[in-house]
Amino acid sequence: MVFSSMIFLWVFLPLTLVLSRVFRGRVCNLLLLAASLVFYAWGEPVYVLLMIFSILFNYVTGLLIGKAEESSKLTLKKTWLILGIVGNILLLGYYKYCDFFIGILNDTFFRNAPLELKYISLPIGISFFTFQAMSYIIDLYRGKYPAQKNLFSLALYISFFPQLIAGPIVRYEDMEAQLSKRDVNADLTIEGFRRFIYGLAKKVIISNTLAQTTAYFWSMEGEQMAPLYAWTSAIFYTLQIYYDFSGYSDMAIGLGKMFGFTIPENFNYPYMSASVSEFWRRWHMTLGAWFREYVYIPLGGSRKGKVRTCINLAIVFFLTGLWHGAAYQFVLWGIYYAFFMVIERAFLKKWLDKHRIVGHIYTLFVVVIGWVMFSTTTAQNAIYVLGKKMFLIYDAPELVPYVTYRFLSAKKVIIGILAIIGCGPLQLAGQKLNLTEKWKGSIAELIFCGLIFVYCVITLAAGTYNPFIYFRF
């Protein structure tokens, strides 16, 4: 089930919201847990058992870590932590990376008698709920909170449907108090609806429209991919993925507010960045915080000199690429960003801080090229599009091809322009002119939200193209 579906908007959400107001306390938590399991099982009934297994595994691991802490058996405590981390990684690795690693073995050692691929379907959201579960047992080991003895409370933390299948990645310490007591009031509910509607509009009106162009581009045969098509599609995809993922995050945060939960922000206008390192502080912030807290800092962070810092950054971004997908293009994408993070850390960042306009242009260029790698089906396709179609342009007639209405209509151009304005410049102008606070909660905003919600519903009812990019991670 997805947020931008009629069954969610008109059945699941209203029913869950009404029942959450009827029942309070632990009964409400049980209701939300049941709703979350139904939400996840809607598309993949079998894999809900996998998530339940993950919940039980981490619940028991947490109890064992807590018991070892109480008895001051520190070695045993560390052993349970290691087993917990290994168990989570094996679970994620089997379902997400099994065929990828078999392919590597076949290419390296078994070319003549290749191993048989498993063709395992990827459970939706497994990367997200596994990372949340790992953060629970790691921070428990660090002594940030006692072990959660209520199985249903921990299950709700791991499976809470607003952020279950595409984040934001929520740490247990941010949810612990809210699981037992939280404030649910009219103001928070209204703010939740407001945030949800903006996220829905980002997804349905902007991202879905831009997705039609990018999908059409990737359906072309190689020689039909004219340079103008390639660059236009790359820019559109850059906007599409931002509005797709930030729109989903906005909806998740809004839904959390409706049920009394505060879910952390995931985006802070990343395309306004003036360096790649700043971009990654603004893009998918909860994932960046996870890798910083549980990988970068344990490796030594920036405490052991420049060389070690650069190595740590390279490891983090290699893993970030691999986290996004079990394919060579994601590894290439991670290494690509690792390169820029290292050179900025080594010397470039100081210069970029003094020349923010140049830094902004440089960052956008790097990011657009990065999204081409990210959006392709294989590393070979990425190299082909970047090399032959975007940079090594040698076929003069292709420079200014006739852009057909199928590829770039007037509506898509207008949406593209609005997307550029809305990913930072509009908000920045509103803040400088002191219009943001005046707009928020005003009658004009209420009417605006109502109109865009109606338009979104009409668009969804028409059965338009409605993919979610981050569902495959």
Query: Where in the sequence numbering do the catalytic residues fall?
Result: 324
Give the chain's radius of gyration (CA, Å).
23
The terminus-to-terminus CA distance of the chain in angstroms comes to: 16
Collapse the DSSP code of 468 into the 3-class scheme (helix H, G, I; strand E, B; otherwise coil) and give the result: coil
Q: Is 295 within 8 Å of 315 (Cβ atoms)?
A: yes
For residue 339, give both structure tokens. Answer: 């390169």
d(CA 124, CA 164): 9
For residue 153, what are the contacts with CB-CB under 8 A and spacing of at least 6? 29, 179, 180
For residue 61, give both structure tokens. Answer: 């691991």
Can you tell me which residue has the tokens 């939400």? 39
d(CA 471, CA 204): 16
d(CA 382, CA 374): 8
d(CA 311, CA 445): 48
For residue 390, give both structure tokens. Answer: 């975007």
Q: Is 123 within 8 Å of 95 (Cβ atoms)?
A: yes
d(CA 2, CA 40): 10
Bond into 401 cis (ω within 30): no
d(CA 43, CA 469): 16
- DSSP string computed for 51-62: HHHHHHHHHHHH
For residue 444, what are the contacts with CB-CB under 8 A and spacing of at least 6? none
